[in-house]
Amino acid sequence: MASAGQGQGPERGSGFERGSGRARGRPRARARRWRRILYWIPVLFIGLLLGWSYYAYAGQLCVVSMENIGEQVVCLIVYHLLFAMFVWSYWKTIFTLPMNPSKEFHLSYAEKELLEREPRGETHQEILKRAARDLPVYTRTMSGAIRYCDRCQLIKPDRCHHCSVCDKCILKMDHHCPWVNNCVGFSNYKFFLLFLAYSLLYCLFIAATDLQYFIKFWTNGLPDTQAKFHIMFLFFAAAMFSVSLSSLFGYHCWLVSKNKSTLEAFRSPVFRHGTDKNGFSLGFSKNLRQVFGDEKKYWPLPVFSSLGDGCSFPTCLVNQDLEQQSTPAGLTPAIKNLEGHQFPSKPLRESQSHLLTDSQSWTDSSANLNKGKVGMSNPGLTIENET
């Protein structure tokens, strides 16, 4: 009986521990749910503001206040076109899921087991060196180590960062935007730019067409109805948002022209040879095509047309990275373009690699040897955790 009682003791204890663990986890789960709800408040505010602006402009200004039928028709047609593009691009920015690194950047189950067993040190780094050997990673931490996310247990691709709000690594992360309750990155950066562009045009159009009626409001030229107050507040709101949106849109246009993200503008990417603020810039035209794609008919539409897969990007390295060379004898490890910049011989996705064809050519032998590989052999890596 004693042995039976002793046998039951651990079961009761383990059950109690599991129960207490679940009890402690419930408040955290509720807190996370409340945070998710609160994150939608800025989006709800924009939605309500957009709904009121539709009522104020289409209903109170165009239908009630405009006396010229031709002016009414033109304003309503242009307004609804801008309104539709604004809502479409905003919707795509919100509900397009951010892309995460592909499986090739994740550590295998065996590698995770080894990392858990081994203390941090040389052995720990050797495991990560083997995992990163065939990956197309060129950016480093400030200390020159390869970028590794301890939380996601993956080697970060170039331009990838961990979002503390989403708790995920996001490909080509630009920033986490509370106004869309989403991470802006590789999968939806084009939609975000179009959202800024169409929202700016929307506000400018409202302010321009509402201006004469706004002046009439102050000169007592409008009938004394509720429409006059909608007209006044509509102009103030459109004018204020036009100023803020124009500065934000201009800033992101500059980022696109330089092939930078917001994070890279504040902290330049670090390569093996050091910091290089223009490491990913290929020239204005190619930088633009990398975000919007090759077919110009899709540029004004919020449909995905960006080049590449977000895991690898063409790099324009000023200095040659000798430790990244792992090419057979007789092959050129880096090929110079006409401007003297050097491009590493890492394989790029097909839609990205043709951006470099105007200024360089890849040898057939190198292409055949690299066919089917994810990246290049890179044995000289040092590892450092970064979250």
Count the alpha carbons within 13 Å of 10 in the hemisphere toward its beta carbon.
Answer: 4
Active-site amino acid positions: 177
Angle of CA points 291, 296, 302, to nearest 5°: 60
Tokens of 193: 């730019």
CB 202 within 8 A of CB 86: yes
Report the distance separating Cα 161 and Cα 169, nearest Å.
5
Please provide residue 169's backbone torsions phi and psi, each rounded to the nearest 5 degrees.
Answer: -85, 130
Q: In the block, which residue shows the tokens 């986890």?
A: 25
Cβ partners under 8 Å of residue 307, min gap 6? 289, 290, 293, 294, 351, 352, 355
Query: What distance lies between CA 327 and its chain's CA centroid?
Result: 33
In contact, 227 and 65? CB cutoff 8 Å: yes
Rounded (10°) angle between helices 41-54 and 69-95: 170
